[in-house]
């Protein structure tokens, strides 16, 4: 981590404190993952689908720290099916309860409702979080470079590879991107939300697109408002956009996904 205060601090501190109190042994969890059902191939789906245009990773999110409740009547199963019908390639499900109102049950419900691969969107700070992601049914785990030092990122990324779950490494700038590539990340997300102000820099992903190697699956996160943003990001070399708030709050999520995919 960079040592400066960011909006991530209290969330990451919360999860580190929980991990410190967790009595479970990683070795026991590792034994359990051997019996987990096969993963659906999150990264592979994006590589395949992106040959036909920009992919959409549609997010299921009940609330956000900045906006509060987004959709009071959210049903993960119903929303997942609408996203799938609209042409989404993958799902992203918030499982953080304290700050986003999510849960492992939301992820299980969404995954059972479709055949789409699912990202567990949470704050991964401990090896047990990686095992938990696989055990709850996720096909991909989120690793936020700003929340981890380079050694932690390398360790967690390595564990994900060992147990057969994909890892989306999220970065905010070129320095973090260099660290992500240094640990061998082949799936990288550029988050356009500023760590200090919580504002969205709509040009960040476009600027950083040229720095992402062609063999890496590139995902633009946060601030994707509609088809025009999707067109810009596809032109900047991105394989996919991860979209949450604008889809969750849409009156017609299926059509909103289809519009992004069509762009």
CA 20 to mean position of chain CA atoms:
24
CA 257 to mean position of chain CA atoms:
17
Active site residue 121: yes
Helix (H) or strand (E) holding 217: strand 217-221
Residue 122 is given by DSSP the state S
The catalytic position among 43, 92, 109, 121 is 121
- Bridge partner residues of 240 (DSSP): 55, 219
Measure the CA–CA gap between 95 and 205, rounded to whole angstroms.
Answer: 25
Active site residue 67: no
Active site residue 112: no
Measure the CA–CA gap between 113 and 106, rounded to whole angstroms.
Answer: 11
The catalytic position among 43, 152, 170, 176 is 170
CB 240 within 8 A of CB 219: yes
Torsion-angle region of residue 222: left (phi > 0), alpha (psi -120 to 50) or beta?
Answer: left
Active site residue 97: no
Measure the CA–CA gap between 136 and 116, rounded to whole angstroms.
Answer: 15
The catalytic position among 152, 191, 206, 245 is 191
The catalytic position among 89, 92, 109, 222 is 222
Q: How far apart, in Å, are the Cα atoms of 104 and each of 119, 163, 218, 263?
A: 12, 19, 26, 32
Active site residues: 59, 61, 121, 170, 191, 221-222
């Amino acid at each position: 981590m960079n040592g400066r205060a960011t909006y991530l601090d209290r969330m990451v501190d919360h999860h580190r404190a929980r991990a410190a109190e967790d009595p479970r042994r990683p070795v026991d969890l590792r034994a359990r993952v051997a019996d987990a059902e096969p993963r659906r191939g999150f990264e592979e789906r994006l590589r395949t689908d992106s040959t036909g245009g920009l992919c959409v990773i549609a997010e299921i999110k009940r609330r956000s720290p900045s906006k509060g409740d987004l959709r009071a009547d959210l049903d993960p199963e119903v929303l997942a099916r609408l996203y799938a019908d609209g042409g989404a390639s993958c799902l992203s499900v918030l499982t953080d309860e304290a700050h986003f109102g999510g849960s492992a049950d939301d992820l299980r419900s969404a995954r059972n409702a479709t055949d789409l691969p699912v990202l567990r969107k949470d704050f991964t700070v401990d090896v047990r979080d990686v095992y938990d992601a696989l055990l709850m049914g996720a096909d991909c785990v989120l690793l936020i470079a700003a929340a981890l030092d380079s050694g932690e990122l390398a360790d967690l990324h390595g564990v994900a590879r060992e147990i057969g779950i994909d890892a989306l490494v999220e970065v905010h700038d070129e320095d973090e991107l260099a660290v992500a590539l240094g640990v061998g990340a082949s799936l990288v997300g550029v988050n356009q939300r500023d760590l200090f102000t919580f504002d969205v820099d709509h040009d960040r992903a476009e600027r950083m697109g040229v720095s992402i190697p062609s063999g890496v699956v590139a995902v633009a996160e946060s601030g994707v408002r509609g088809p025009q943003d999707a067109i810009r990001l596809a032109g900047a070399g991105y394989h996919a956009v991860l979209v949450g708030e604008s889809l969750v709050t849409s009156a017609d999520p299926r059509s909103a996904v289809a519009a992004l995919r069509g762009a």
